Amino acid sequence: MASADRSAWIPIPAGFPAGKPGGLTVQKRARPGIICILGLLIIISAAGANGDIPPLPHLFYGNVTILGDPAQAGLPVTAVVRAGATEVGGGAITSSAGTYGGPGPQDQKLIASLDDPDAVGPFTVSFFVMGMPADCREHGTGTWLETFPFSSGMVTNLDLNVSEIVLMADFSASETLGVAPLNVQFTDRSIGPRSSWEWSFGDGGTSNQQNPVHQYGSPGTYTVSLTVRDPATSVSDTETKPGYITVTELPPPPVAAFTANVTSGDAPLVVRFTDLSTGSPFEWGWSFGDGGTSAVQNPVHTYSIPGVYTVSLSVRGISGIDSETKPGYITVRTPVPTANFTANRTEGVAPFAVAFTDLSTGYPQQWTWNFGDGETSVAQNPVHTYHSAGIFTVILTVENSAGTDSLERRDYINVTSSLLPRASFTAVPVSGYEPLTVRFTDTSTGDPVAWNWSFGDGTYSEEQNPNHTYVMGVYSITFTATNDKGSDSITKNKYITVSHRAAGGGGGGGGGGGGGVFFIGGTPNATATPTPSPTPIPPGGLVLGPDNTTIQEATIVSPDGMTSLVIGIGVRPVGPDGLPLTQVSVFPLAGDAVPGGAPCIAVVHAYAVLPSGSTFDPAVRLVITFTPDQWREIENDRPVIIFHDSDTGTWTEIATTADAEAGSLTGLISRGGTYAVCRRAPLTTIPPTGPTPVPTTPAPGGLPFQVVIPVIVLLVVALGALAYFISTRMWKRGPPPEEGS
């Protein structure tokens, strides 16, 4: 009796004959003699014990025996459901020793189910053990039945027994892969009565033992076959396993060898080791000399402490082990230290205790602190108490065998004697042409609740952040901040400068800087008045929280008041050294300080956001403001903010928003460095026809070559045309009449 292949239901156990009745397929090639295959069909029909067809799926479990002996574990037990002659379902399970499935709720069962839900009964169920038909009986009845009349239900305890075994050859080997000479123990795992064995080992060797041992002396791949015979019927069966045994040559012993990409440097030193061993090793053991080890073939190791280290590598292969040791192979030097520190707080009321934390790198061995109030310390992480009010500069000097370094944080600690507010403010812009609208921003500390502004022109305001419009003049600003403890005032003398532009607008340069826009680069029709680099002012301070992100908004204004960097809350500023950044500044750049190569007609308003190489995450706002006349001169030139990448030496445009009403450009930046405004449209247009008069007296600064060259070309063309015209007229008129005619 044959059934369809259901090998997908369960895996065939290792060692069971492939392609034979060990899965769910019962197919045996024709052979001499008589082969008896007995199967018992359980007919499920309306003639059941209670007249019902048992529902499917149906679950079975119980004992399983072969010729009355408990079956070994790992045998496939299968059920095949048929409707007439058509297979419509089934199931499979792997046996345990003497049983299949179990009675517990969590135990597996043999599930007989329909693959075709539309199949119509009556149905029959056939059971097989290792592909051999099995009898069945309800557990405990003691009677093996040809027809099993079980009633409707979901679980049946059903015992199975194989009463007649079909002869099937099979075998296994103790080793299937090894190095010559390879000794292999073969084990007969055939099923059925047999009295003779004929082995062929594939290398010319044979044996008639049941479980022989054979030695393969030469490398190669060998096919093994076993033929067994039934003494009663003279029936035989052969099992052949192609390429079953693979024998290889013994490789040469391994020879350990290695190298490193770097063998000396400052701590921390990252070293990549490369295995150069021969002999096909399969195990590696590294010792790096600092207590570190690795079993990776090509490890990467970091030496954190200065010193000289011996490195060794041990390798293991099929043919043995070997080691290589390189004494003093890695030298890690002490780097020159880099001073850095932070404080747990920087503002407070006296007595004010501050915990300083050393963040220096380079393995410093000595620390010297100067707290700015006359006190010092040599502790690495001191706690210092400021007893008097004031603003204090803190200096840390670190030292090791390689050198020293110092870091000064100016005006780092601000100690007040009470909870009075400390008035402070900024303004943008602080200079320009009338009418000049200035935006004032309160930056006071001490949580003021009232504000009073005196704008210097006889007007006042009690808003926190007012806007005020000035006419021509120079103005001093007085600002008072008040809270419930008292008031504090600050006056900035001659802080706002407003100029009056003469009729005719920009151009001209020189003198009082009459041009509308100060050009850093060349321009075809304007000459810029050179502007010296201003003296830097102290950089703006950032207040960072425990996670090194800003906890209050900061606006850093350039000394000329025309550009501001707005850093919001939650920004992570990182300095070029990779440490948290607490000081930022914005400075205007003179023309000779601006890198060339910008893809612009002109570069204007260049600024440096310092320190260069710092980063901001998320990006912060850079706002560049123009006077009304300056804005009118550039607004039609599609101005955009550009950034100079010092690594590549190139300029890159950044996303820019123009505010025509405020006369400003705003860009989001994430790096410190050089920024400028790029005028992208042509500044002049050469007339399409007609010569251009050349002034007898050049304009101040001379004509740019962009204008001189086209004028010369036009003059040459005009003179050529004139010569051609005269010669043509003379040719048409003919030669002059002879004298006397």
Q: What is the DSSP string of 48-61?
A: STTS-PPPSSEEEE
Q: Tokens representing 378?
A: 């040599």
* Cβ(384)–Cβ(348) below 8 Å: no
Answer for the pair 656, 678: CB distance below 8 angstroms, yes or no: no
634 by DSSP, 3-state: which?
helix
Q: How far apart are the first and last CA of the chain?
A: 142
Around Cβ 726, how many Cβ atoms within 10 Å?
10
> What tens digit of pLDDT does each residue of 617-674 get?
999 999 999 999 899 888 888 899 999 988 888 999 998 999 988 899 999 999 999 9
Q: What's the one-letter identity of residue 177?
A: L
Where in 144-181 does DSSP place strands (E)? 155-162, 171-173, 177-179
Bridge partners for 416 per DSSP: 349
Residue 712 has pLDDT above 80, yes or no: no
Listed residue (275, 272, 291) closest to 283, CA to CA: 275
Question: Has residue 711 got a pLDDT over 70?
Answer: no
State how beta strands 132-133 and 583-588 pair: unpaired
Q: Say if CB 91 and CB 58 are below 8 A apart.
A: no
In angstroms, rounded to a whole number, what is the distance separating the alpha carbons of residues 349 and 413?
A: 11
pLDDT for residue 145: 62
At 42 the pLDDT is 36
Judge residue 313's burial from the number of C-beta atoms within 10 Å of its C-beta, 0-12 exposed, 13-18 middle, 19 or more buried.
buried
Tell me the mean pLDDT in the region 538-564.
85
The 10 Å Cβ neighbour count of residue 408 is 13
- Do 710 and 688 meet the contact criterion of CB atoms below 8 Å apart? no
| Coarse DSSP helix, strand, coil percentages of the chain, rounded to the nearest 5 percent | 5, 45, 50
Q: How confident is the model at residue 451 (pLDDT cuts 50, 70, 90)?
A: very high
Better-scored residue on pLDDT, 359 or 53 = 359
The beta strand positions in 590-639, using DSSP E, are 602-610, 615-625
Structural Rg of the chain based on CA atoms: 49
Confidence of residue 507 (pLDDT cuts 50, 70, 90): very low
pLDDT in tens, 570-610: 999 999 889 999 889 898 988 777 888 888 888 888 999 99
**Residue 209 identity (one-letter amino acid):** Q
Mean pLDDT in residue range 409-430: 88
Name the DSSP class of 166. -
Structure tokens at 227: 């033929």
pLDDT at 18 over 90: no
Q: What is the dihedral of CA 186, 192, 198, 200, to 10 degrees?
A: -50
Half-sphere exposure of 238 (CA within 13 A, CB side): 10
pLDDT tens digits, one per residue of 299-321: 999 999 999 999 999 999 988 99
Cα 82 to the center of its chain, rounded Å: 58
Residue 485 pLDDT exceeds 80 = no
Residue 541 token pair: 């301070």
Provide the mean pLDDT of the chain.
80
Tens digits of residue pLDDT in 140-149: 777 776 545 5
User: What is the rounded distance in angstroms from the CA atom of residue 80 to the CA atom of residue 406?
Assistant: 87
Say if residues 479 and 455 touch (Cβ distance below 8 Å): no
Give the span between the Cα atoms of 370 and 6, in whole angstroms.
85
Domains and CATH numbers, the chain: 58-162 (2.60.40), 171-248 (2.60.40.10), 258-333 (2.60.40.10), 341-416 (2.60.40.10), 425-499 (2.60.40.10), 554-679 (2.60.220.30)
Q: What is the pLDDT of residue 512?
A: 32
- DSSP at 738: P
The share of the chain scoring above pLDDT 70, in percent, equals: 78
Q: What is the share, in percent, of the chain residues with pLDDT greater than 90?
A: 48
